Structure 1
Amino acid sequence: MTQPTDILIIRHGQTAWNTQKRLQGHSDIPLNENGRLQAVTLAEILRDEPLDAIFSSDLQRAYQTAYEIAKIHNLPVHQDRSFRERCYGICEGMKDGEIREAYPESYKAWYAADPDHFFPDGERKTESPRQFHHRAVNAIREAATRYPGKKIAIVTHFGVIETAYRTAQNIPLGTHCRMPVLNTSINRFRWTGGTLELLQWGEASHLEEGRKPPVDYYRHY
C-alpha cells in the first residue's frame, strides 16, 4: 500500500496588491515589507517542522516566501508554474468594482461561480475555474506522489489552496466555497492513494508574532 504524504499548503506573504484588493492572477507582484516580515516569521515557526521537500509557484511572491523556509531547512525550492494562481487575463490588476463596471457579464458569472466562464484575455490567456481546478489538483498530486511517506511544503496562492480545500471537502465546482485564507497561513493535508484529506486549517498564530520583527529580521533586508 502506498504510504501517505503529509502536505503543508501555505499561502504566500502579503503584497501591495493584496492590500489594495487588486486581482493578481499570473501578474508577478513581489512581497511588500509586511509580506517579507510574514515570510521570515513563518520560516521561524516552521524551523522544527520536519520537511523533506519544498515546492512553490514560480511567481516571486510565492518563491520569496518559500525561500525563507528553505533557507532554514537547507533545502532547495522546486519552482513549478503549475502552482500559479488562476489567470484572470485583462482583469488582473483591477479591483472588484472596476471589474463590475468594465466587464459586468464576467463579473456576474464570477460571482455565480460559473465553472466554465473565461474572463477576457489580456497579456495572457485566461483559464476557466474548471481548467484551473484540474491544473491545481494535478500539481498537488504530482508533488505528493514524488514523496510517499514524507512531509512536503507547497507555497502557493489563494486559488490553489481553495482548490485543495474544495477537493478534500468534496465541494463541487459551480458552488461557492468561502473560507479565510490569510497570507502565510498554514493548511495541513494528507495525500493517500489518490485521496486528499484535510487535517488542519488556517494556522496563523505566527501572524500575531509577525507584528514584532524577529531579532535578526533586518539582517535579511
Structure 2
Amino acid sequence: MTKILLIRHGETAWNAVRRLQGHTDIPLSPTGERQAQALARALAKEPLDAIISSDLGRAVQTAQAVAALHPQVPLHTDAGLRERGYGAFEGLLYTEIAERYPIEFAEWQARDVDAVMPAGERVAESFRQFYQRCQDGIARWAEKYPQQNIMIVAHGGVLECAYRAANGLTLDGPRDFAIRNATVNRFRMDAGVLAMESWGEAIHLDGALDEML
C-alpha cells in the first residue's frame, strides 16, 4: 500500500477570474504563494518519502514550498500529471468560450466524456483520455514507492479524476464536490485500487487568510 497526499496547486490570477488554464503555464498569484507557504507549514512534520509535481509552474511552485521544509525528500516532476488539455479554450474566460464555441461549450458542460475541444496552440483531450492519463500517472508513482508516503501536487482536474475513481463515480456525473486550491486530500493505493481517506483539509488556509487581512 502507498499513502498519497494529493494536492491542488495554490491559486493563480486566472483561477480567480475563471480563465481556463489547461496546459498554459501560469504562475501562482500572491494569494497562491501564501497558500503554498501555509500548506508547507501544515505538512512540515508529515512523513514523506517523495514529492511529485506536475511540470507546470503553478504546481512546481507549490511543491517547492513543501520541499523546502523536507530537504532530504526527492522532488520529481511529471508532465503526465498536467491539467487536462483544453485546446482553443485555453486562455479564455468561461463566458468567452460560450460565446465563441457554443456547440463545444455545451458538450463540455453536458459532460460528454468523449467530446474534444477545438484544436488550439496546445493539445485538446477528451475527459475519458484525460481520466486515463491521470489514473496511469498516479498508479505509476504509487508503484515506484510501494509501502511509502508520497505527495503529488497537480491540478483540479487531476483531483477530480482521483475523487471519481476512489468513490466509484461515473465520468459523466456532475462534479458536486469542491476542489479548493492547496487543500490536503489523503488517498491510498493498494493492489492498484485507489481509496480515499479524507478530502479537503483546509484549516491551514484559514490561518493564511488571517495573515492577508
Q: CA deviation at 1:8?
A: 0.4
Is residue 74 of structure 2 the alignment partner of residue 76 of structure 1? yes
Q: CA deviation at 1:213?
A: 4.3
What residue is the counterpart of 1:28 in the other structure?
A: 25
Instruction: State the alpha-carbon separation in 2 of the partners of residues 114 and 68 from structure 1.
Output: 37
Q: CA deviation at 1:59?
A: 0.2
Matches within 5 A, 1:58-73: 58-73=55-70
Is residue 176 of structure 2 the alignment partner of residue 204 of structure 1? no
What residue is the counterpart of 1:179 in the other structure?
A: 177
Is 2:53–2:78's contact at 8 Å kept on the other side of the alignment? Answer: yes
Uncovered stretches (5+) of structure 1, i.e. residues with no partner? 215-221
Q: CA deviation at 1:212?
A: 4.0
After superposition, give the CA deviation of every residue in 1:190-217 in whole Å (9 maximum; x if it has no partner). 1000100010000011111102449xxx
Aligned-residue CA RMSD (Å): 1.1
What residue is the counterpart of 2:53 in the other structure?
A: 56
Instruction: Find 1:167's aligned residue among 157, 165, 186.
Output: 165
Is 1:41–1:213's contact at 8 Å kept on the other side of the alignment? Answer: no
Q: CA deviation at 1:178?
A: 2.2
Is 2:51–2:152's contact at 8 Å kept on the other side of the alignment? Answer: yes
Is residue 7 of structure 2 the alignment partner of residue 10 of structure 1? yes
Identity %: 48
Matches within 5 A, 1:60-139: 60-74=57-71, 75-139=73-137
- The 3-state SS of whatever aligns with 2:38 is helix
Tell me the amino acid that sits aligned with residue 128 of structure 2: R
How many residue pairs get matched?
Answer: 211
After superposition, give the CA deviation of every residue in 1:29-73 in whole Å (9 maximum; x if it has no partner). 000111111101100000010000000000000000000111101
Q: CA deviation at 1:139?
A: 0.2
TM-score by length of structure 1 reads 0.93
- The 3-state SS of whatever aligns with 1:210 is helix
Is 2:49–2:74's contact at 8 Å kept on the other side of the alignment? Answer: no
Instruction: State the alpha-carbon separation in 1 of the partners of residues 93 and 202 from structure 2.
Output: 26
Tell me the amino acid that sits aligned with residue 54 of structure 2: S
Uncovered stretches (5+) of structure 2, i.e. residues with no partner? none
Instruction: State the alpha-carbon separation in 2 of the partners of residues 188 and 89 from structure 1.
Output: 31
Tell me the amino acid that sits aligned with residue 16 of structure 2: T
- The 3-state SS of whatever aligns with 2:150 is strand
Instruction: State the alpha-carbon separation in 2 of the partners of residues 192 and 204 from structure 1.
Output: 26
Is 1:26–1:86's contact at 8 Å kept on the other side of the alignment? Answer: yes
Instruction: State the alpha-carbon separation in 1 of the partners of residues 144 and 106 from structure 2.
Output: 40
Is 1:114–1:174's contact at 8 Å kept on the other side of the alignment? Answer: yes
Is residue 193 of structure 2 the alignment partner of residue 195 of structure 1? yes
